[in-house]
Amino acid sequence: MKKLFNSRSSMADDMIAGFLAAWPDAAVIGKHPRVVRRRALKIGKVSLLIGNGSGHEPIAMGFVGTGLLDANVVGDVFVAPSPDLILEGIREVTGPAGAILLISRHEGDVINGRTAAMMAEDEGFSVHPLLMYDDISSAPKGQEEDRRGAAGTIFIYKILGAAAEAGLDLTALAELGAEVRDCTRTLGAALNPGISPLTGQQMFSLPEDEVFIGMGVHGEPGVGRRKLGPVRELVAFMLDALLQDRQISPGTRTLVLINGMGGCTMMELLTVFGEVAAGLAARGIPQTAPMIGSFSTTQEMAGFSISLCTPTQRMLDFWQAPHGAPLFPDLHGVGA
Amino acid sequence: MKKLFNSRSSMADDMIAGFLAAWPDAAVIGKHPRVVRRRALKIGKVSLLIGNGSGHEPIAMGFVGTGLLDANVVGDVFVAPSPDLILEGIREVTGPAGAILLISRHEGDVINGRTAAMMAEDEGFSVHPLLMYDDISSAPKGQEEDRRGAAGTIFIYKILGAAAEAGLDLTALAELGAEVRDCTRTLGAALNPGISPLTGQQMFSLPEDEVFIGMGVHGEPGVGRRKLGPVRELVAFMLDALLQDRQISPGTRTLVLINGMGGCTMMELLTVFGEVAAGLAARGIPQTAPMIGSFSTTQEMAGFSISLCTPTQRMLDFWQAPHGAPLFPDLHGVGA
């Protein structure tokens, strides 16, 4: 396995050490060395946190900071943190206003997250576990709550992060989170596998001229394969699928997130975005404030996903609000 | 070649279309479709621009915006733009205050850039071509001006961009640019090749347990190979080489840039940064305001470079100054 690390057992901890050395004003370690929390906790605000397996950086550790996550509970590579560990995170950042525990819908994350939330409730904390699911390839239309969480969950992180900073209470945040989730859809395509740091092996194999549609963030099977072809045709196919799953009326302002899975170049991601923007424009759908880059990754897997979200004005304001998270892009200062 | 594109001939243009669709408030196309310029030109300021082959994104197109580049002249993939094309860029953004034409020292870029600058002088523009070189592996100590430009050139882009915005004149900017260059050093290591979009072939081959030290941005040969081993040992070797080339005294505040070449994960880059920060700390050298990510890339090449710069207070202020470039990180708001 040709990767830059010291030892398999120290991978996550060495990475955390690097992150904290880089941005000590944004984040610090909590009482537990796997709880990365915002340095300046804000009294009285609802806290926002997530526990997740590492190996997908910059998500979620890189999103800890003012106006975004209060804490990230960092699991081993590709392994959901235990309920006990997530509970440590909840204790670390939660006050009387309560907490939203984000859970990207994958089996281990759901079980451990819900258990941790119950344990925290027993200790007197108010914790709302918010299930996030957006991947249209993982369950059919009408069974949205059976879908996996994918890169479109980033809309929830950012919008709830800004909303919590603005002072919304737990009930309002839980409602807003569900609202963002319900207006978001994601579909991904994978070209080449990444190497799992756990096994040292490629996560899948695929003929040289084919792509997987709907690959999950750990290499879970997609809905099917197709010939690669020109990117315009691939994007047209994916955009059709997204808009069949959730119609967007002409004139509806739409947020686009093009997420690279690790091994796609920025040249490719910008090209994909151009095709998505053109496809939306042809349908009379205006897009604004996009996010383009490799944010939720699966090691060096070559692939990308398209996420669409139709925000209310309030959501859009939260999406573009300034924040202090080291590895989340600046969506408000661009062009200023 | 398994990449996302429409056709080889349209690659650069399709990417530009995507970039402009994403951030129309930051950048627009100039009179020539390969001149990407800042939307709001500032009257009276010295302009800052560069022409370079594409395929290395986000550099340099993604750095166009307020407080950074006024224009990027976008060549075909891995091909320096022609003098005529660079001249178009100079005409597009240059007024009476003149222009700094950045040139990352590679043969084609130097010849074409200097020729363009002379042509522009003939037309009455004041243009200072600023040669940038920082890669210690490409020529020995004492022959710094024979070295290649590498990721450490990013310090020059940002510091001069902010300085030009602040109103420094052409002479002062030329001096400042040389000063930044002379206090910057870079060394890279490559683990796995990228695929050249020109040839569809891997750029080099390397045994499974070895790294190249000093690989250039187009896959130019490095100074040697070594066993990969734990990242701590690799970084220690590279840091020693950098500090032998240019000593940094204990107590000297240092900027660190860890640049991914495309195929390294953020997990790996953060780990590398942690080792660099620890190595500097052990020598009593404090680091601040680092930049970590894949900014100057060679397609999906797996590798990284370490750049060190010892800024004056004025340089540091410019480094952290706010800017409006879409794909340059926010170095001032982190933790705010």
Q: Considering only residues B222 and B316, tell me which one the structure prediction assigns the higher pLDDT.
A: B316
CATH number among 3.60.70.12, 3.40.50.300, 3.30.1180.20, 3.30.365.10, domain B184-310: 3.30.1180.20
Q: DSSP 3-state assignment of B110?
A: helix
Q: Tell me, what's the pLDDT at A224?
A: 87
What gap in Å lies between CA B16 and CA B6, rounded to an integer? 13
Q: Cβ contact (<8 Å) for A272 and B300?
A: no
Q: Which two tokens stand for residue A227?
A: 């010939």
Give tens-digit pLDDT for A201-255: 998 888 989 999 987 767 676 778 999 999 999 999 999 999 999 999 999 999 9
- Residue B269's Cα: distance from chain center in Å? 17
Q: Does A297 touch chain B (CB under 8 A)?
A: yes
- Stretch B44-52: mean pLDDT, rounded? 97
Residue that is written with structure tokens 């080889």 in the block: B8
> Does ipTM surpass 0.85 in this model?
yes
Among B163, B162, B109, B98, smallest CA distance to B132 is for B109
A-B contacts (CB, under 8 Å): 222
What gap in Å lies between CA B118 and CA B116, rounded to an integer? 5
Q: Tell me which H or E stretch contains B270.
A: helix B266-282
Q: Considering only residues B166 and A40, tell me which one the structure prediction assigns the higher pLDDT.
A: B166
Asked if A104 contacts A149 with a C-beta cutoff of 8 angstroms, the reply is: yes
| CA quadruple A235, A236, A241, A244: dihedral sign | positive
Residue that is written with structure tokens 């800024």 in the block: B311
Among A71, A60, A29, A138, smallest CA distance to A297 is for A60
What gap in Å lies between CA A270 and CA A293, rounded to an integer? 8
- Residue B325's Cα: distance from chain center in Å? 14
Residue window 6-25, chain A: list those with CB within 8 Å of chain B. 6-7, 11, 14-15, 17-19, 21-25
Residues of chain B contacting A6 with CB distance shorter than 8 Å: 230-232, 271
Superfamily of domain B8-182: Dihydroxyacetone kinase; domain 1 (3.40.50.10440)
Asked if A53 contacts A76 with a C-beta cutoff of 8 angstroms, the reply is: yes
Q: Does A67 touch chain B (CB under 8 A)?
A: no
Report, at the CATH architecture level, how domain A19-182 is classified: 3-Layer(aba) Sandwich (3.40)
Identify the band that residue B332 occupies on the pLDDT scale cut at 50, 70 and 90.
confident
For A168, residues 6+ apart whose C-beta sits below 8 A from its C-beta are A46, A176
Helical H segments across B4-152, by residue range: 11-22, 83-93, 107-122
Select the residue of B40, B290, B297 nearest A22 (Cβ to Cβ). B290
* Residue at A178: amino acid letter: A
Residues of chain A contacting B277 with CB distance shorter than 8 Å: 18, 21-22
Q: Considering only residues B313 and B197, tell me which one the structure prediction assigns the higher pLDDT.
A: B313
| DSSP-assigned letter for residue B103 | E
Residue window 168-197, chain B: list those with CB within 8 Å of chain A. 191-192
Q: How far is A108 from chain B (nearest CA, A)?
A: 22
Q: Where do the domains of chain B lie?
A: 8-182, 184-310
Residue that is written with structure tokens 């194999």 in the block: A205
Give tens-digit pLDDT for B71-120: 999 999 999 999 999 999 999 999 999 999 999 999 999 999 999 999 99
Select the residue of A4, A273, A322 nearest B268 (Cβ to Cβ). A4
Beta bridge partners of A77: A54
Q: Tell me, what's the pLDDT at B336?
A: 58
Q: Cβ contact (<8 Å) for A335 and B228?
A: no
Residues of chain B contacting A275 with CB distance shorter than 8 Å: 14, 18
What gap in Å lies between CA A255 and CA A309, rounded to an integer? 5
Q: Cβ contact (<8 Å) for A272 and B18?
A: yes
pTM comes to: 0.97
Q: How far is A100 from chain B (nearest CA, A)?
A: 21
Q: Tell me, what's the pLDDT at A31?
A: 96
CA angle (B204, B79, B146) in 5-degree steps: 75
Taking 50 as the pLDDT cut, the residues of chain A under it are none
Helical H segments across chain A, by residue range: 11-22, 83-93, 107-122, 153-165, 170-182, 231-245, 266-282, 313-320
Q: DSSP 3-state assignment of A209?
A: coil
Q: Which two tokens stand for residue B168?
A: 């420094």
Q: Please, what CATH class does the domain formed by A184-320 belong to?
A: alpha beta
Give tens-digit pLDDT for B211-251: 999 877 676 767 789 999 999 999 999 999 999 999 999 99
**Checking DSSP bridges between strand B71-77 and strand B302-309, what pairing results, if any?**
unpaired
Q: Which two tokens stand for residue B309?
A: 């710069």
Q: Tell me, what's the pLDDT at A265?
A: 97
Share of chain B above pLDDT 70, in %: 98
What gap in Å lies between CA A241 and CA A136, rounded to an integer? 8
Q: Does B75 touch chain A (CB under 8 A)?
A: no
Q: Cβ contact (<8 Å) for A4 and B304?
A: yes
Residues of chain B contacting A231 with CB distance shorter than 8 Å: 4-6, 14
Residues of B designated as active site: 56, 218
| CA quadruple A190, A192, A196, A201: dihedral sign | positive
Q: Tell me, what's the pLDDT at B215?
A: 74
What gap in Å lies between CA B118 and CA B114, rounded to an integer? 6
| DSSP-assigned letter for residue B63 | G
